[in-house]
Structure formats: C-alpha cells, structure tokens
Chain A
Amino acid sequence: MKIRLIFFGILALALVIASYFSEYLCPYDPYLQDLGNAKAVPSAAHIFGTDRYGRDMLSRVIVGSKTSIYSTLLLVAFITVLGTMIGVFCAWKGTWVDTVLMRISDVFLAFPGLVFALAVAAALGGGVHNAIIALGAISWPKYARVARSETLAQKETVYLRAAKLSGCGTWKLIFKHILPNITGPILVTAMLDIGTMMMELAGLSFLGLGAKPPVAEWGSMMSDTRNLLTTHPWVTLAPGCAIFVSVMIFNLLGDTVRDWLDPRNGR
C-alpha cells in the first residue's frame, strides 16, 4: 500500500512539475507553423506527428499540460481551501449564518453537472480563466458540505470539549484540533476530483468555452482537429491520450490515498 502511494505520488508530482516547466521541455516551438511539413506522420523527428499547420504535436501536447494539469490543480487546491473554510465556519458558528450559507450551497448543488458551468462560461465569455471560474463555482459546495459535516462530528467529541474546558482558544481549537482531524475526507474528495475537473475543463474547451485555438489545450486541440481523426488520427489521439493518461494517474493516486486513509474501502 505504501509503495503504491509513493509510486503514484511521484508519478503525479512528476506530471505536475513537468507541466509547470512545460515551456522548457518542448523539442520544438509549439506555435511555430511549418506548412511544408503539415500533417506529417509520426516519425523520429516528430513522435506524435504534426498538425495541419505543421506544428509539432508532441510540443503542443507538452505545452497543453500547463492548462490542463497545472491549472486544474490550482483550481482544485483553491476550491478545497475555500470550501473547507466555508464549511468549518458554518459548522463552528451555527445559527443563521450556517443556514443561509447552506441554503446557498443547496442552490448551487441543484444545478446538474456541467449545466451551471456552461451558464457561467456563457455569462463570462470564453477563455481558460473563465472556464476555471465556472468549474470553481459549481464545485465549492461539495467541499463545504464535507468540511461542515466533519466539523460538526468533531464538535461532539469529548476531546474537543476537554480542550475547550482547559481554556483553548477558538483559533487554536480550529487549527490544532479540528482541521487535522477533518483533512482526511477532504483530501480524498479533492484527490478524486482532480481527474473529473481535468475532464470537465477539457470538455468546456472542447465546446469552445475554455481555451481557444491557437492556445494549446488538450480539449480545444481535440475539437480543433476532430475532422482529421479518420485521415490523420494522431493529431486527435495525442491530446486525447494525454488527457486519458493524466486523469488515470490522478485517479489511481486518489484511490490509493482513499484506501490509505480508510482501509475499509480497500476491498
């Protein structure tokens, strides 16, 4: 179990670091057009071939990882923190603040899947940033919910009451006692969400609501080249497989973290 965790952890970390430094890893300029060499079959010089403008697919896939992996991760990290803060705050405060914020999260949860993200993207216009805001807007309630119910459970425990009785201040109670005890479930939710978010971001870009060509992003690259699937499959398959492999790695990592934190789920 530990070995699996370390293995997938390193794999995922490598992906993230690679995506951050993606500009320096490309063998060619991903935006350099070379029409004389358009739609080239994969070869030693261009492992994934070239697209219809002669741009090197490998370089484009590598650069695309910046949006697809690095941005997704930032997004998930941000909504995890935000959602947790809201959830803990609600559970701690109780009263009408809790009721109001939870009813608001109910409303957000009442929109099915991508429908709300589509609306936000439509309202804000295209672009990666707006697509990320859209996805953030639909996913924070989930984290707030988890954090809230976990905090409520912690509030009932004897140890917390003891800490309170011994004069522990609010901030210390939250940061030293509650947060470390609720991190597990939140972390699992976040880890398992990375893959989904990646696919949803790619989906929005595929529809033209996220990254727009010529920006290299896996979803928009696939949408851009979908007509070439029959004749020049590599231009579509390369970004497609990139999404598939990265989602798979993050899903495996998520599953492993879940099993690690809660062995009951390991079956």
Chain B
Amino acid sequence: MKKYVLHRFLQLIPILLGITFLSFAMMRLAGSDVVTEMYQNRGTEVSQEIIDAKRAELGLDQPFLIQYGRWLGGMLTGDMGESYMTGKPVFPTFLSKLPATLLLTALSIILTILVSIPFGILAAVTHDKIPDLILRFFSFIGNALPNFFVAMLLMQLLSIKLQLLPVISDGVTLKSAWMPALTLAVSMSAKYMRQVRAAVLEEWNKDYVQGARARGVRSRVILWKNVMKSSMLTIITLLALSIGNLLGGTAIIESIFMWDGVGKLAVDAITMRDYPVIQAYVVWMAIIYVLVNLITDLLYHRLDPRIRLGVTKG
C-alpha cells in the first residue's frame, strides 16, 4: 500500500508539470501582446518605450522556458502575478473566492446524493417495472437539458412564479446557494442516478444473489446486506469522479446566478482578457481535480482488497 501511494504521487509529478505548462503556454499564446492589452484595458495610450520597459519588468523579453520556470516558481510560493484589471495579486483573490465555489459544490453533491442514491436503488430493484420506467424517463430528460436551461427554468418556477428563492444571489449565503446548487444537482442527479442503477443492477444479477434468493433469503436482506455493500464502492467512486465535471460546470451556473465564486471570477476574467486570473483558475481547478481523483483512487484501493496496482491501470 505504501509503495502504491508513493508510486501514485510520483506519477502525479509529470501530470502537474504538464498541466502548468499547458496552461502557461496557452495564455502566453493568447496574450502575445499582454502589455499592450493591459494598457488598453486600463484605457491609456502609451509610447513604445514604456511598453518595452513594462515588458522587461514583467520578464516578457526572456525566452519562453525561462518565463515558464519563473512563473512556476512564483506559483509554488503563491505568487501568480497581478490581475491586469484590478492590479490586485491573483492568488489571494482566487483563494478568497474558492470557499463560495466549494460551498456550492458541496451543497449540490449532498442534494445529488439525497436524490439519486435512493432513486437509483429503487429503479434497480423495480427493474423494468413502472417506478423504474418513470425514473428512467426523468433521468433521460435531465440528461438532455443543458444546465443553463435548467437554471432558467428553475428561476422561472421557483423564484418568479412561487417566489421561494432569490433569483440572483445577494452575497455568499446559504439562501442564495440553493438555486445554483439545485440547478447543478438536477443535471448531476440525472446522470448519477443512471450510474447508481447500473451499479446496483449489475450486482443484483450476480449468481450469489440468485443463490441467496433460492435459499429463501428475503430480497430486502440481500439488498441491504450484500448488494449495497459491494456496489457502494462503485457508487462512491463514480460520485467522486463526477466532482470534476461539477467543478467545470459551476462556471456557467455561477455567472448566471451571480454567485461570487471562482467560476464567475474566471468567466469575468475571460470577457476582460485578464489572463493571469484565467491562468490561476485553470491551473488550480486542474490541480484540485487531479487531487480529488487521486484521493478517490487511493480510497478505492484501500477499501477494495481485490484492486492491486497493474489491475487498476487501464
């Protein structure tokens, strides 16, 4: 186990290097003329000398790899440059917005679990009967609705018709979090319920279940004592893996509901071509995602004695 953990951490190094390199290269590619961009954004006209001086100050006259090295070094010490728009350091800004996104993510995961695990199990147990068909119908609809459309429909229904929840958030409060969290949970539950159903169903069709039923063990006992125990592992893994999609998906929802998290920060930065902010967002979201996946994998490894290194590698 120790060896495996070490191995996984070592594997992480090239991936992290790749992530940082790609993010850096992409933003350099985009902001080939960052300095002009920067002054344009601030609305000032400047001479070529000032531009050159600023470029030298930012180290932009250096070769690409040296720039990357310096940027990476800065990143490790929490210095990711300053926003072109506000002039404030990027990393603290990003950190200050992160809790809002984490709250939103956590809330929508809780909602998703509450909805899709019970319903997924129900659908599996009533396989091909009416409850299953109804649930599959809803999950199908949920899967075909883009989340921004769900957001608009929920706004219309819950905020305007029923006036239950605020349309857009007034600061990071639990009350304002409900709408975006619900929206994210709708799309996620639709997907996740299908996966839960499939996982439980797969276990349910195994020979030992047949055997137990033939011996007269009650279905309910088999379900809770055996089937759930073994399919929980898959269910937890799938849930953890979907966190990544959630993190990526929050950007649209955050900007619709004006939820002041990192997603909205990034979308705003994109419209204003504030490259250091975008860079910070991309790099850190990827790092968080990789770490979440690593933890999931280690957990899976820890919980399931059958999994050994080499077997897990696809």
Contacts and interface: CB of A to CB of B under 8 A. Distances in A.
Interface in B228-251: 244-249, 251
A107 B288 CA distance: 14
A113 B246 CA distance: 8
B103 to A, nearest CB: 18
B286 A110 contact: yes
Contacts of A3: none
B29 interface: yes
Nearest to B293: A110
A107 B17 CA distance: 9
Contact of B285 (A106, A107, A115, A251): A115
B118 interface: no
A149 interface: yes
B18 A115 contact: no
Contacts of B152: 222, 226, 229, 236, 240
Interface stretch (A24-32, A118-126, A159-167, A180-188): A118-126
A111 interface: yes
A103 B144 contact: no
Contact of A115 (B30, B127, B148, B251): B251
Contacts of B148: 202-203, 206, 219, 222-223
Contact of A110 (B19, B29, B144, B201): B19
3 closest cross-chain pairs (CB), A and B: A113-B248, A107-B18, A123-B30
Interface of B: 14-15, 18-19, 22-23, 26-27, 29-30, 127-128, 140-141, 143-149, 152-153, 155-156, 160, 201, 205, 244-249, 251-252, 255, 266-267, 269-271, 273, 275, 278, 281-282, 285-286, 288-290, 314
14 contacts: A111-B286, A112-B285, A115-B247, A118-B278, A119-B278, A123-B29, A202-B148, A203-B147, A207-B255, A222-B148, A223-B148, A236-B152, A247-B145, A267-B205
Given A103-B14, A121-B270, A244 B149 contact: yes
Contact of B266 (A112, A113, A118, A145): A118
A6 interface: no
A69 interface: no
A230 interface: yes
Interface string A201-219: 0110011110000000001
Contacts of A203: 146-148, 252
Contacts of A125: 30
B139 to A, nearest CB: 11
Interface in A220-257: 222-223, 226, 229-230, 233, 236, 240, 243-245, 247-248, 251
A167 B251 CA distance: 55
Nearest to B243: A112
Contact of B289 (A111, A121, A207, A251): A111
Contacts of B278: 118-119, 122
A106 B149 contact: no
Contact of A145 (B247, B273, B314): B314
Given A106-B15, A115-B285, A116-B286, 20 more contacts: A104-B18, A108-B22, A111-B19, A111-B285, A112-B285, A113-B246, A115-B248, A118-B266, A118-B267, A122-B270, A122-B278, A203-B148, A207-B252, A207-B255, A219-B146, A230-B156, A236-B152, A240-B152, A243-B146, A244-B145
Contacts of A108: 22
A222 B26 contact: no
A112 B251 contact: no
A76 interface: no
A100 B285 CA distance: 24
A209 B148 CA distance: 14
A97 interface: no
